[in-house]
Structure 1
Amino acid sequence: MSSDDLTELSLKLNMEEKNETELEQIEMELLLNGIHQYYGYDFRNYAVPSLRRRIWHHVYAEGLTTISALQNKVLHERDCFERLIFSLSIPVTEMFRDPQAFLTFRQKVIPLLRTYPYIRIWHAGCSTGEEVYSMAIMLHEEGLYDKARIYATDMNSRSLQQAKEGVFDIKKMKQYTKNYLEAGGTRSFSEYYTAKYNSVIFHPFLKKNMIFAEHNLATDRSFNEFNVIFCRNVMIYFNDELRDHVHGLFHESLSHFGILVLGAKESIHFTSFSEAYEALDRSEKIYRKIK
């Protein structure tokens, strides 16, 4: 094959690859616009690489071959839509996840909360609720739970239902116990749950001051004023526009001197609200609203 033939073949392959990429982008936009218009869920400003991987994974999981075929099924079959939402909303969490963050919260934020007559805490994007129960346990041990309300929200109804039930896999308790102790736990972790078969159920007193509700950070508005907002490892999946929108929502929802807790790979910097906070602990991404 001559060099001219190789050049022509290379150009042809590049053009086909470009066409496939453009077609994929169009299909993704149509899918996301359809979901937004028909169901009211907005994924259009999620980070593209992660979103693309999850969409294709779900295409294959549904036994399909194209994103367009997935769009058709999602818009005509509610069950398919709910399976897709469960996949896209990334329900990944654990109790006392990143124990140092919880230890730092216990050391630096709990003393501030002691001065409040009433405490409202919002766990935004709570997934299946592990961090919500972690917070309840910490507040209980610090003698603050009776004057606290924990609002746990997520866009994923299946995850919320599991969070409400407070039932978790017993195989995870070894790791959760380790996390609890590293996070400054003061009791035996097993005091907080009852084991039954292959699961554990957390004791009802931990749920008495919890309120669970569906809330979409991309489309829903502020619904209360809070002293603390926990939103950890959620916004890493958002693009800059959606991330800034959510920070605006949190700023509106926090009381003066309210506390914002982000995930290890997240930051208030490079957002429109960076000057509105001071760092209580920069390494653990704990900030206090000052403006």
Structure 2
Amino acid sequence: MTTSPDPELTALLDAVYHRYHYDFRGYAEASLRRRIGAALTHLRCPTVNDLRERVLAEPRGFSELLRFLTVQVSDLFRDPSYYRSLRERIVPYLRTYPSLKVWVAGCATGEEAYSLAIVFAEEGLLDRTLIYATDIHPESLRAAEAGVYDLERFARFSDSYRQAGGRGSLSDFYTAQYASAILDRRLKQAILFSDHSLATDVAFAEVELVSCRNVLIYFDRPLQDRAIGVLRDSVRRKGFLGLGAKETLRFSAHAEAFTELVPEDRIYQRR
């Protein structure tokens, strides 16, 4: 049994799209309701209609709302087995290319892009690799480009790095300064951070690897199919696509374009 769309929520999302050109209309409604509820409390708006009026009247109010509508949860080497599989199963293929392009779609504050850069550095591939890292949230992209994170997070990151097959010490890739960890410049130089929306934009490059993890779970089925189509168009023939642990191509309209290469870590190869 399906429920009818919430008219207030629909009006808010339409307003956001037409005024600011951010399209959340295909995001899963249950997830949106939770995030809008948190935004109502934070912005002290009694109703969704009040929030819509504020967002239309105040661009700063939209910037605040955007923090709640986008998911900015990330860690270095999150789901370590994924990175171990990339290192052990995918890197041998990638070594055969004279140059590499990688796309991290939905990069949030950059941790996944830097995780891949570290793997590629340790495997001797970083000097010939360009990593595109994209998101729709401007503040997150600025934080990602800076590459500065809370130092207290790095004990957990180091454990994940070891589980992911790290060859040395994670401390080889950052400098501690007071309460912050500043990632190495050689990692930053390999990554180009930019704005891109899987809901509205098209493929912008042909790449050997796309990593789009824990993004599709927030989309409804039509938007999932649209996004996977964009990812498919970006992956060159025999290239690779990595998804999140709770995501799959199995029921996608584009499933036939890929072979499951590492099913347990949701890594696919373009046919």
Is the pair's TM-score, using the shorter chain for normalization, greater than 0.5? Answer: yes
CA distance in structure 2 between the partners assigned to 1:76 and 1:257 by the alignment: 49
CA distance in structure 2 between the partners assigned to 1:75 and 1:196 by the alignment: 41
Q: Please tell me the residue identity of whatever aligns with 1:203.
A: D
CA distance in structure 1 between the partners assigned to 2:108 and 2:151 by the alignment: 18
Q: Does 1:134 align with 2:115?
A: yes
Structure 2 stretches lacking a partner, 5+ long: none
CA distance in structure 2 between the partners assigned to 1:258 and 1:244 by the alignment: 19
Q: C-alpha displacement at 1:155, in angstroms?
A: 0.2
CA distance in structure 1 between the partners assigned to 2:134 and 2:57 by the alignment: 27
Amino-acid identity (%): 41
Q: Does 1:112 align with 2:93?
A: yes
Q: C-alpha displacement at 1:191, in angstroms?
A: 1.2
CA distance in structure 1 between the partners assigned to 2:60 and 2:75 by the alignment: 27
Structure 1 stretches lacking a partner, 5+ long: 1-20
The answer for the alignment partner of 1:168 in structure 2 is: 149
1:283 alignment partner, SS class:
helix
Q: C-alpha displacement at 1:221, in angstroms?
A: 1.2
- Say which of 38, 50, 53 aligns to 1:72: 53
Q: Does 1:37 align with 2:18?
A: yes
- Say which of 140, 146, 153 aligns to 2:134: 153
- Say which of 163, 179, 191 aligns to 1:182: 163
Q: Please tell me the residue identity of whatever aligns with 1:163.
A: A
CA distance in structure 1 between the partners assigned to 2:260 and 2:177 by the alignment: 43
Superposed CA offset, 1:221-267 (max 9, x none): 11111110000001100000000000110111110011000000000
2:6 alignment partner, SS class:
helix
Q: Please tell me the residue identity of whatever aligns with 1:281.
A: V
- Say which of 174, 177, 199 aligns to 1:193: 174
The answer for the alignment partner of 1:278 in structure 2 is: 259
- Say which of 235, 252, 255 aligns to 2:216: 235
1:211 alignment partner, SS class:
strand
Q: CA RMSD in A?
A: 1.1
1:143 alignment partner, SS class:
coil
2:231 alignment partner, SS class:
helix
Q: Please tell me the residue identity of whatever aligns with 2:223.
A: L
The answer for the alignment partner of 1:10 in structure 2 is: none
Q: C-alpha displacement at 1:203, in angstroms?
A: 1.1
Q: How many residues align?
A: 269
Superposed CA offset, 1:108-156 (max 9, x none): 0000000011110000000000011111110000000011000000000
CA distance in structure 1 between the partners assigned to 2:267 and 2:34 by the alignment: 31
Q: C-alpha displacement at 1:209, in angstroms?
A: 1.5
Q: C-alpha displacement at 1:275, in angstroms?
A: 1.1
2:116 alignment partner, SS class:
helix
Q: Please tell me the residue identity of whatever aligns with 1:199.
A: S
Q: Please tell me the residue identity of whatever aligns with 1:279.
A: E
Q: C-alpha displacement at 1:181, in angstroms?
A: 0.4
Q: Please tell me the residue identity of whatever aligns with 1:233.
A: N
CA distance in structure 2 between the partners assigned to 1:157 and 1:87 by the alignment: 13
The answer for the alignment partner of 2:196 in structure 1 is: 215
Extract structure 1 runs of 4+ deviating beyond 3 A: none
The answer for the alignment partner of 1:58 in structure 2 is: 39
The answer for the alignment partner of 1:9 in structure 2 is: none
Q: Please tell me the residue identity of whatever aligns with 1:287.
A: Y
What is the TM-score of this pair, normalised by structure 1? Answer: 0.91
CA distance in structure 2 between the partners assigned to 1:80 and 1:215 by the alignment: 22
CA distance in structure 2 between the partners assigned to 1:63 and 1:128 by the alignment: 26
